[in-house]
Amino acid sequence: MAQLFHRSANTIAKVSIVGGVVLLAALGGIAHTVDQSPYTTNQSVIREQPVPFSHEHHVKGLGIDCRYCHTSVEQSHFANIPATKTCMTCHSQVWTNAEVLRPVRESWATNTPISWTRVHDLADFVYFNHGIHVAKGVGCSTCHGPVDHMPLMWQHATLTMSWCLECHRAPEKFIRPREQVFNHEYRVDRDSGRPEKTQAELGPKLVEEYRIRKEQLTNCGICHR
């Protein structure tokens, strides 16, 4: 019986199989890269705002505490965006004619809220409570990054599930004393006020002191309700 296929068919078949596997792996790698990239996560992306508010100027330059503007951050799930009245507390006296602040003055005059663009915008199927994180010693800069060095606000972290789980699986690596939550320059060896001078020493003790139940933090229902 005559040979139906050329001898090279075996080689072609093997190359096709290997090539197919390599192609699928490459496509998976590309998909993962895109999924973790700023194109998808918005990490490090500066959002356009009605007013170019500078956290660097207000926090580092003027020393304004986070809670002055984000008044509900210690009790509520939402760290509220400040009302125009908060801005006008100062800007009715300083920079009163600055063109850059025209939207603020118009908002105040017309009693119309400013339409700020949210920078840290979690998916609707994710439940996040600012109040409980503050109570458990999670610092502002742990999630939001060095806001005191941001002339314009950007999203510091990916906000992906894997990023959240880094802390939920090992909170002792990240938490700090409650009184240091709003300290953007916090250093455990200098500011903790405790005899422990490293996070490895202090973290486990705070987990116990603040009654953080590690075994429950990776339960799906904690974030997805």
Q: Could you tell me if residue 165 is inside a domain?
A: yes
In this structure, are residues 156 and 42 in contact, taking their beta carbons and an 8 Å threshold?
Answer: no
Same domain, 96 and 135: no
pLDDT tens, the chain, 225 aa long: 566 667 777 788 778 888 888 878 877 777 767 667 777 888 999 999 999 999 999 999 999 999 999 999 999 988 889 999 999 999 999 999 999 999 999 999 999 999 999 999 998 999 999 999 999 999 999 999 999 999 999 999 999 999 999 999 999 999 999 999 999 999 999 999 999 999 999 999 999 999 999 999 999 999 998
- Judge if 105 and 184 occupy the same domain: no
In a domain, residue 41? The reply is no
61/158 same-domain check: yes
Domain enclosing residue 109, as ranges? 85-114
Residue 53: CB atoms within 10 Å: 20
Shortest CA distance to 55 belongs to which of 153, 174, 129?
Answer: 153
83: left (phi over 0), alpha (psi -120 to 50) or beta: beta
Residue in this structure with the two tokens 């229902």, named with its chain if needed: 221
DSSP 129: -
- In total, how many domains does the chain have? 3
Residue for token pair 């300290």: 183
Residues 61, 147 within the same domain? yes
Q: Is residue 89 part of a domain?
A: yes
Is residue 197 located within the same domain as residue 107? no
